[in-house]
Amino acid sequence: MNKLTLFLILSMLSLTVLSQRNPFLPQHRLEADTLPNDICAVMEDPSGNRNLVDEDYTNPDNVYWKTVRTVVTVHHDSTGLGWLPYDLVENAIFDLNEQFNAYMFEFELVDIQYSNMNENYSGQRILDGLACLPYSQPDGVTLASDYAWDTEYFMNIHVVPDMCFTILGFAYRLPAYYNTMDGVWVQSNCFGTDPDYCMENRAENKTLVHEVGHYLGLYHVFQYTEFCNQNVTADCSGTQDRICDTPPIKVQYDCGNPTCFNSNGVWDGDPWEGYQHNNHMDYYIDSCRTAFTYGQLLYMHNHMIYNRPSIIGETPLCWGDIDGDYVVGANDILALLSAYDQFVEDTSCPTCDINEDGFVGTTDLLLLLSNYNTVCFGAGDMLPFEEAPSREVNTEQMWRLFQQDVNLDTNSPRWNSKY
């Protein structure tokens, strides 16, 4: 057996083992939402968060009605802890559709399942306090494995009785199709709109909306913001939440006006005239969360095209298509192996660095193998990446509620196909 054959076999075995062990790869991250006055458990390495191709997340041509096939699994114990009525789950998805209607997303409820955690090894560990979600990921994988529908084609929503510390929900932004936990996870006492089942200030289904926002690609609006106006003149498409019409302001837990102190603790006044704390991707109580911005609308639609195309029935992008023939195949593997274990500047194959960390290594090979034999749509159809605007203070910018039309061509076939 030659070295190349042995290497490929070992790589495939590694992928199989890692898929059972829930590996941390650059495309495998989660966001977590917490109660006020607690540390946000955002499991994301900012240095590793890079686009795998030059994607334009502001392309309005990718905004059209998208249907996300959705499966809900209610995890509960034998005494009824965490159990929710069937109609409550139906109403929660109905409300989710209502709240995303203005942003042209539809969630098709395919199935509702019930999982008795006492009958699952990891479920029992979680109930006994020996493990908790999302940090006990092997237990999360085991709990999800028996019920998760194919994460490449369905958004799985898992409702559980409790999570680590004061976390209310978490979601994976980017897909790892071998990860059965991929999807949205919400604590049962803040799922839906029935106050008899929800905690105070969490009965408007906004935790689900928030976590679905993460699944559709959004960060928290306060992502990596340590002080007000941080990096305000930087490229807003590549810093903090990567959205240009959400101001860089720290996390807000109430509905009051945003506080704005600089890094020296000096009051900066109110540079974001007209901005209201109403964004779904902040941490205030449910009644304050009412809107996404236009920039977030664009980002969500483009994210689904670039990162979760099979969920919405699109042909996937070619992650790993090194030779540009729109198929991830043997020639791509050979090209990557020719540059393997080298810094990208020392190779003649810059596209071999799939995760763009500057080094062609195991992660790049695993990413390629996970997409092997994928037939993709042409990268030539994509718009070239353009330099993004800086986030200068602009009092004329519409920071307010999403009240304006999004300037789409309502005569287009894709718009009318919804009706």
Position 268 scores a pLDDT of 59
User: What distance in Å separates the CA atoms of residue 102 and residue 150, rounded to the nearest whole number?
Assistant: 28
Distance separating alpha carbons of residues 127 and 76, to the nearest angstrom: 9
Active site residue 211: yes
Which one is catalytic: 44, 152, 211, 314?
211
Q: Domain spanning 28-215: which CATH class is it, in words?
A: alpha beta
Sheet holding 31-34, edge to edge: 31-34, 167-171, 184-187, 155-160, 66-76, 105-116
Q: Which residue has the tokens 């809900």?
A: 72
Can you say how many angstroms the Cα of residue 352 is from the centroid of all Cα atoms in its chain? 25
The per-residue pLDDT for 68 is 96
Asked whether 274 and 400 are in contact (CB, 8 A), the reply is: yes
Residue 357 has a pLDDT of 78
Q: How many CB atoms lie within 10 A of CB 324?
A: 12
Residue at token pair 């409300």: 95
Q: What is the C-alpha to C-alpha distance for residues 73 and 160, in angstroms, rounded to an integer?
A: 9
Tokens of 246: 């959400």
Average pLDDT score over residue span 287-301? 91
Q: Which residues pair with 375 in a beta bridge?
A: 327
Q: Which of 35-39, 63-67, 177-181, 354-358 comes out lowest in average pLDDT?
A: 35-39
Residue type, 124: Q
Return the H-helix or E-strand segment holding 143: helix 137-145
Q: What angle do CA 35, 127, 215 make, to 5 degrees?
A: 50
Q: For 137-154, what is each residue's pLDDT tens digit?
A: 899 999 999 999 999 889
Of 349, 301, 341, the closest CA to residue 323 belongs to 349
Peptide bond into 134 cis (omega under 30): yes
Highest-confidence segment of 115-119, 256-260, 280-284: 115-119
Lowest mean pLDDT among 1-10, 97-106, 118-127: 1-10
Alpha-carbon gap, residue 130 to 136, rounded angstroms: 9
Model confidence pTM above 0.75: no
Q: Determine which helix (DSSP H) or strand (DSSP E) holds 106, and give its type and residue range.
A: strand 105-116
Query: Which residues partner with 343 through β-bridges?
Result: 359
Mean pLDDT along residues 298-313: 91
115: number of CA atoms within 13 Å, CB side?
26
The DSSP secondary-structure symbol of 30 reads B
Written as one letter, the residue type at 281 is M
- For residues 257, 258, 262, 264, the Cα torsion angle rounded to the nearest 10 degrees is 70
Strands (DSSP E) along 253-402, which ranges?
342-343, 359-360
pLDDT (tens digit, 9 = 90+) per residue, 179-234?
Answer: 899 999 999 999 999 999 999 888 999 999 999 999 999 999 888 888 777 777 77
For the chain, the structural domain boundaries read 28-215
What's the rounded Cα separation, in Å, for the pair 78 and 115? 10
